[in-house]
Structure 1
Amino acid sequence: MTNRVKLVTVLSLLTALLLGHFTASYSQQRHKVSNLSKKFDLVIDVQTQDEHRVSGKFSIYRKGAKRPFQIIRHNETDRRLSEDNPIFVSVSEKQNGKWSSVYFEDFNFDGNEDLAIADGSNGGYRGTSYRIYLFDRSGRFVFSPSLTRLAQGPYIGIPEPDRKMRTLEVFWKSGAGFQQVERYKVIKNRPRKIYEYSKDSMAGDGNAYITTKKWVNGRWRVWNKTVKDENQ
């Protein structure tokens, strides 16, 4: 084999490898979501950047419209969106162990559906984290930093709205020995903590120390209780 033939062969192999890498690194998926909202449809265009990162373009349509009225782009989103058939469910399915990459939910209890979009794995235990966008008077979804904080670590998953009590509930834990539940009222589109329940059994003395806090008349009321740790 001449040097020229060898060079052509090597270049051909390198080209094939680069093209294969490019195709694998930039594979694309499109998902149409119409089951989450009564008012809106969503078209998600996902691009796999590398083995660790997936980006997404989220085009929001009013039901029956042919053109989106708003487009939101995330440099990073849920890797599950790179799969062929990701599930799209409501927040209530979180109790059944089913998590969605996007949610339409009224997070500020103003009667309008808001939008939560996964922005990677920044939640507790490297779980899915979200950015929350509130539907405002201008008819667009506007990013809410304060509510988004409740959908990032250390909290696990999306905040769960209680429509009757008009509160948001979040949960986080540290190993098997500590867990905490928090509830928030949303006042002028900002969350304010009104309840906290924690259970701490990390002392290793066979006990679990329970602390309950409630915001009452402008101040915190605190109750402490010690119980036998059922896990020991």
Structure 2
Amino acid sequence: MTMNMNISNYYRSLSAFILLGPLCFGQYQFEVKDASKNYDAIIHIDNCFSDQCMDKGTVELFNNNNTKVQTFTSDNLVLHLGEGQRLERGKVIPLKKEQSPLIFGDFNFDGTEDLAIRNGNMGNYSSASYDVYVFNSTRMAFVKSKELTDLGSNYFDFFETDPVRKRIITFGKDGCCRFFTTEFEVIPQKGLDKVLEKEEDSSEDGYVKVIIKEKKNNKWTTRTKVYPSDQYNR
């Protein structure tokens, strides 16, 4: 009789574990409040260690009325704690903008706020990489952009935006002495068009060779100039 009761209790416990999974033990939770003018976020990550997290996680986005608007997942959310912060399961830990694995901005220059979510270190020289979601006004939801995710994942860290010229600017490097800048024009309803490539090569002692390839009227031109190292500023 006792053995049957123990077996019954075991299977009840096992069923609860299967149903609830990690909720039985709690996840690490973080809150981001100052990264966006329109949204706050709650981040859940399964595993953290020391002063950083690098694991699968979810991001819950809330509007200014504290209504949840969308949930996202990332296979590798990466974030670092600030000085004096301590990991504790079940406790909501606040993150400053510079700690957050989220980047908000108008990446496609349509007047609405978009979102980039850290997806590991897949960028140039193992730099930060991001999945990029643009806000779709028709669906009233964030939709993942393949083009912008490629730019956010394959270059050196996250890209910059130039809202005046409506361009996205990416960076890269090769070894100690070669740096690359690439600019893409954002064309509404069409996508991205690469319009500039710039290479700065300081491998020759005392000099910097700059090669600029630029697209104008669907034609590419190339300009090359060599500067003394002490007279060149990147």
Instruction: Please state which band the TM-score falls in when normalised by the shorter chain.
Output: 0.7 to 0.9
Q: CA deviation at 1:163?
A: 1.5
Let me know the Cα RMSD of the aligned residues.
Answer: 2.6
1:164 matched residue in structure 2: 164
Query: What is the number of equivalent residue pairs in this alignment?
Result: 195
1:151 maps to a residue whose letter is G
Q: CA deviation at 1:142?
A: 0.5
Question: Over residues 156-195 of structure 1, what are the superposed CA-to-partner deviations in whole Å (9 max), with x where a residue is unaligned?
Answer: 1111111122111111111221001111111236221111
- Any unmatched runs of 5+ in structure 2? 1-21, 88-92
1:94 matched residue in structure 2: none
Higher relative contact order (CA 8 A, sep 6+): 2
Provide the TM-score with structure 2 as the length reference.
0.74
1:14 matched residue in structure 2: none
Secondary structure at the aligned position of 1:69 is classed as strand
Tell me: CA distance 1:123–1:27, structure 2 relative to 1, closer, same or farther (3 Å).
farther
Tell me: CA distance 1:207–1:190, structure 2 relative to 1, closer, same or farther (3 Å).
same
Question: Over residues 127-178 of structure 1, what are the superposed CA-to-partner deviations in whole Å (9 max), with x where a residue is unaligned?
Answer: 111010010021111111111111123x111111111221111111112210
1:164 maps to a residue whose letter is V
Provide the TM-score with structure 1 as the length reference.
0.75
- Any unmatched runs of 5+ in structure 1? 1-22, 90-98
Q: CA deviation at 1:65?
A: 2.6
1:38 matched residue in structure 2: 37
1:87 matched residue in structure 2: 96
Contact 1:74-1:119 at 8 Å conserved across structures? yes
Tell me: CA distance 1:34–1:50, structure 2 relative to 1, closer, same or farther (3 Å).
closer
1:75 matched residue in structure 2: 75
Percent identical residues: 27
1:125 matched residue in structure 2: 125
Alignment of 1:83-232 (within 5 A): 86-89=95-98, 100-136=100-136, 137-153=138-154, 155-187=155-187, 188=189, 190-202=191-203, 204=204, 206-230=206-230
1:35 maps to a residue whose letter is D
